[in-house]
A and B are shown apart, each in its own frame.
Chain A
Amino acid sequence: MKRNLLTFFILGGLILLAVVASQVVGIRLYDRVATNLCISLTLVLGLQVFMGNSGILSFAHIGFMGIGAYASALLTIPTMMKGMALPDLYPFLKDVQLSPYIAIAVSGLVAALVAAIVSYPLMRLSDAAAVITSFALLVVLHTVMTHWSALTNGPRTLFGVPKATDVKLAALVALLALVTALAFKESRTGKLLRASRDDERAAAAVGARIPQLRWRAFILAALFTGIGGALWGHFITSFSPRAFYLKETFLILSMLVIGGANTVTGAVIGTFIVTAAYESLRGIEGLLNEAKVSSQPVIGLTEIVLALAMMAILVLRPGGLFPTREIGALLARRFGRPEKSG
């Protein structure tokens, strides 16, 4: 217990430190980076809840981020704007206009509900079959988002989403996600699920109902991913379905994998490292473009470097930077009195 508290205080402190530092410096760019960092943290921690505990790679989560973003947008775009932004909207949604804060929570629930329905039968699958179906699920969600014009404005950009996310709200949600991820990991469900990750047969033999356990983790993960998506929507204020596809999936996965998918510490540290790398590489790309190094715009450099980093990490440390132990446990081991494991 003490170790988990220590982990929470270190990681939470890190998040707070980043946010406070960004505010003290007072440059708008840093404010944006810090907000993005907190939103990414929510998404990555959501993914960690499922992937880290169940050991199953999931490509589908960005789809739930999209569901969250669109759900929250539908609930909050002012009635006046709706006629313009979504001309074919169903009548019963036309007059709905909630406060963004309520809408963000509701969209998390919507994403969780969708996840609960579609994932229930999928949780029986393991290994490659599970990965391919999660990939298929991402494609299905993306196709639906791209073509359900009445709700999403089709492949075109949806605009008019009110701006509601600031760095404080994003940080608060990220901290909540952190507590939940740590608590879930130590809960009965989390422990049984981790047992099934390490040895599926042995866990089943001692009575773990694996599909049920995975299902719970998946729903919780979708809840956070949906909330993260809604936060992002209220931050960016206009988006299209393209924002919720393979590129974003790659980014979130690289954050989790570089840090270490099995630990919450890994998820948080990975998000920090990748966000820092991403933002500086974007900066470099911008500089190169301004300097007109070549005749065409420089794009893709960021992804190339991230992909190389990801492959290097997996070759050298297949479990990521924090493969098994949380930071609290590592510190307690090194400095503290030997504590009884609990």
Chain B
Amino acid sequence: MTFAIQFLINVLSLGGAYALMALGLVIVYGILRLVNFAYGELIMVTGYTLFLISGSALPWFVMAAAAVAMAVVTGIATDYIAFRPVRAKSVTAVLITSFAFSTLLQNAALLFISPRPRVIPLPEIFSRTVEIGGAITPMRNLLTIAAAVILLALFAFLMRRTVLGIAMRAAATNFTMARMLGVPANLIISSAFAISGFIAGVVGLLWMGRIGTVVPGIGLEPLLVAFIATIIGGMRSLTGAVIGGFVLAFIDTSLNYTLPQELLKFRDAFTFSLVILILLWRPEGLMRGPATGQRT
């Protein structure tokens, strides 16, 4: 019983984080059908902002809000710098510009801050543990679950009930048609990047809460996680991305418990081989997204 609770909490908290990571990636992919390789750097920016303002006497929540705001700004900047100028020209070009933008941000962190890990301030609640039904679990796992539930609910409300959300879904279904009906394309895309930045910022706080430090390469793992989850769940379906995140967390946690130590080192290779297999079996992912329209 204790083991079951432990397992469940692990899957839910990891899955919550993974689901948010995937959602942040797929919100842009769904509309533009372009992968943002600089997505992981949004998490890095959150971490470094927190590190840079950690000297101030501000309460932690203000600092965290500032860090998330910085991630939103970086998200919008990604659109203006790496996507908008080349979006209409070629798919390959956008992939390369976002890859270049990611390299740019990472190396800026290397050059101006440090290649070594930097400690970020965390509130005391992150390091506390609680006991639930005999299983001892860190408080931050429960916080991650709570944050995931709240953000997913908020996101669902945004997409279903607000004008912005409906316009974004329309743009994801048929961009040209949405444009003809008066949906401002650039605004919608920038909003998608802003939301992507917001989600990355929040998930970044929770993610870095596990280790308490930030390094220039911190964004790679979340990016890979988001890739896998997105592909498992269907490249363009928002619900699919969330389900994909939880499925991936389930697979990862199970592998952690079942694989022998010798093979556990190769876990990433296994999960990525799984991605390749899924893409071969269903190039559209497990869940179908909205019908394909034309990209600008």
Q: Which residues of A contact B (CB under 8 A)?
A: 55-57, 121-122, 124-125, 127-129, 131-133, 135-137, 139-140, 143-144, 147, 246, 250, 253-254, 257, 261, 296, 298-301, 303-304, 306-308, 310-311, 314-315, 318
Contact = CB atoms under 8 A, between A and B. Distances in A.
A300 B107 CA distance: 5
13 contacts: A122-B276, A128-B33, A129-B235, A136-B275, A137-B276, A140-B272, A147-B266, A246-B220, A303-B107, A308-B100, A314-B96, A315-B85, A315-B86
Chain B interface, >50% SS class? helix
Interface string B98-133: 011101101111110011000000000000000000
Given A137-B272, A140-B272, 16 more contacts: A57-B95, A121-B280, A127-B33, A128-B95, A133-B276, A133-B279, A143-B269, A300-B108, A303-B103, A304-B111, A306-B103, A311-B97, A314-B93, A314-B100, A315-B86, A318-B90
Chain A interface, >50% SS class? helix
B72 interface: no
Contacts of A136: 227-228, 272, 275-276
A298 B91 contact: no
B103 A55 contact: no
B268 A139 contact: yes
Interface of B: 29, 33-35, 81-82, 85-86, 89-93, 95-97, 99-101, 103-104, 106-111, 114-115, 220, 224, 227-228, 231, 235, 265-266, 268-269, 272-273, 275-276, 279-280, 283
Contacts of A147: 265-266, 269
A132 B103 CA distance: 17
Contacts of B266: 143-144, 147
A51 B231 CA distance: 23
Contact of B101 (A133, A296, A307): A307
A307 B99 CA distance: 9
B269 A140 contact: yes
B29 A128 contact: yes
| Residue with the greatest number of chain B CB neighbours at <10 A, chosen from A136, A143, A310 | A136
A279 to B, nearest CB: 17
Contacts of A125: 279-280, 283
A307 B111 CA distance: 14
Given A57-B96, A253-B96, A310-B96, A129 B279 contact: yes
Contact of A128 (B34, B82, B108, B272): B34
A168 B110 CA distance: 36
Contacts of A254: 100
A140 B228 CA distance: 13
B72 to A, nearest CB: 21
B103 A250 contact: yes
A314 B227 contact: no
Given A128-B33, A257-B96, A314-B86, A135 B227 contact: yes
B279 A132 contact: yes
A318 B103 contact: no
Contacts of A124: 280, 283
A304 B224 CA distance: 23
B223 to A, nearest CB: 9
Contacts of A303: 103-104, 106-107
Contacts of B107: 299-301, 303-304, 307
Nearest to A143: B269
Contacts of B35: 128, 131-132
Contact of B97 (A122, A140, A310): A310
A311 B81 contact: yes
| Residue with the greatest number of chain A CB neighbours at <10 A, chosen from B90, B99, B115, B273 | B99
| Residue with the greatest number of chain B CB neighbours at <10 A, chosen from A122, A124, A132 | A132
Contact of A299 (B29, B89, B95, B115): B115
Contacts of B227: 132, 135-136
A138 to B, nearest CB: 9
B110 A139 contact: no
5 nearest A-B pairs in the assembled complex, by CB-CB distance: A300-B107, A300-B110, A307-B104, A300-B111, A303-B107
Contact of B275 (A55, A133, A310, A318): A133
Nearest to A55: B92
B108 A253 contact: no
A57 B114 CA distance: 31
B268 A308 contact: no
Given A131-B35, A307-B100, A318 B279 contact: no
B268 A296 contact: no
Contacts of B275: 132-133, 136
| Residue with the greatest number of chain A CB neighbours at <10 A, chosen from B29, B96, B106, B224 | B96
Nearest to B281: A121
